[in-house]
A = this chain, B = another copy of it.
């Protein structure tokens, strides 16, 4: 037996914002699994800001997606055939399966998830890579302590919404930045102490007003003007966790850097970049911490799921950069 599988391939590297010419949609046949292999019917595809970086032909922490290759993507689904001893038909799994309907896998990087703990969507969000990014970024890089002021950008997004709630649970004073009244209202409901609408402009002054004693931890998902606003308003000994810079990912040229980086000296502060993949062996710690908070009702795992199937991927990816999502953005296959 084989499975017909629509897939999205990288047709050419985009300059700036991806468009239709970036992608090619094709259909292939996925064969029966051989020994040690399994076939997964994908149900949800994760849309992540990092995807934009994977399209650029530059030296980075991971090789770029090759021209003609299926677009790399984290995804989740159900095992429909298996000759792999760790996986049985009917198991729900996540892994880097790519933007496709069916995936043949040798099991490497594939994780079985427990739907009694949370639905698949949450395993791709608060209990998946974004949640782990939030947890280790806040704990290990930001080293947030109770009573400290934590500023988080893209606070209504997949990572930011978990950072904000983890910081609240720790007893921090939490300031979130998001775009638009709906997200601002949602973050206020979550209990954040201050919420800044980035569309109101003058971020430097807005951050100063929200953090008159300075920011101890800035969890940066966006870069750009907000990073400078944070730098200008640090507390002494502050830590900036560099998680991403989504505001700049579609720039055609290398964007300007943080002009106020010398604030690091004035405030004896640290700016540190990190990648969640370095914490793989500690995922159980992060999953335990976040699932406990979910169970206690102290952390709300939120996802926005777009329809459109695999062929809807090009549009869905742009939605990520336009901020259509509250919480984790997913594409239903």
Contact = CB atoms under 8 A, between A and B. Distances in A.
Contact of A257 (B59, B256, B265, B270): B256
Contacts of A269: 272-273
A233 to B, nearest CB: 10
Given A258-B258, A261-B242, A273 B278 contact: no
Secondary structure type dominating chain A contacts: loop
B264 A275 contact: no
Interface string A292-311: 00000000000000000000
A270 B254 CA distance: 20
Contacts of A193: none
Contacts of A264: 242, 271-273
A274 B278 contact: no
25 contacts: A59-B266, A60-B266, A61-B265, A61-B267, A223-B262, A242-B262, A242-B264, A243-B265, A254-B260, A255-B259, A256-B257, A256-B259, A257-B257, A257-B260, A258-B261, A261-B271, A263-B273, A264-B271, A265-B273, A266-B273, A268-B272, A268-B274, A268-B278, A269-B273, A271-B272
A244 interface: yes
Interface in A156-192: none
Contacts of A265: 61, 242-244, 273-275
A258 B257 contact: yes
Interface in A30-46: none
A254 B263 CA distance: 12
A244 B261 CA distance: 11
A245 interface: yes
A170 B61 CA distance: 30
A329 B317 CA distance: 56
A180 B273 CA distance: 34
Contacts of A261: 242, 257-258, 261, 271
A262 B255 CA distance: 10
A262 B270 contact: no
A169 to B, nearest CB: 26
Nearest to A267: B273
A134 B317 CA distance: 47
A273 B240 CA distance: 12
Q: Sorted from nearest, which 9 A-B pairs have the closest CB atoms?
A: A257-B257, A265-B273, A264-B273, A257-B258, A257-B259, A270-B272, A271-B271, A254-B259, A61-B266
Given A242-B261, A242-B265, A255-B259, 7 more contacts: A61-B267, A254-B260, A256-B259, A257-B259, A263-B273, A264-B271, A264-B272
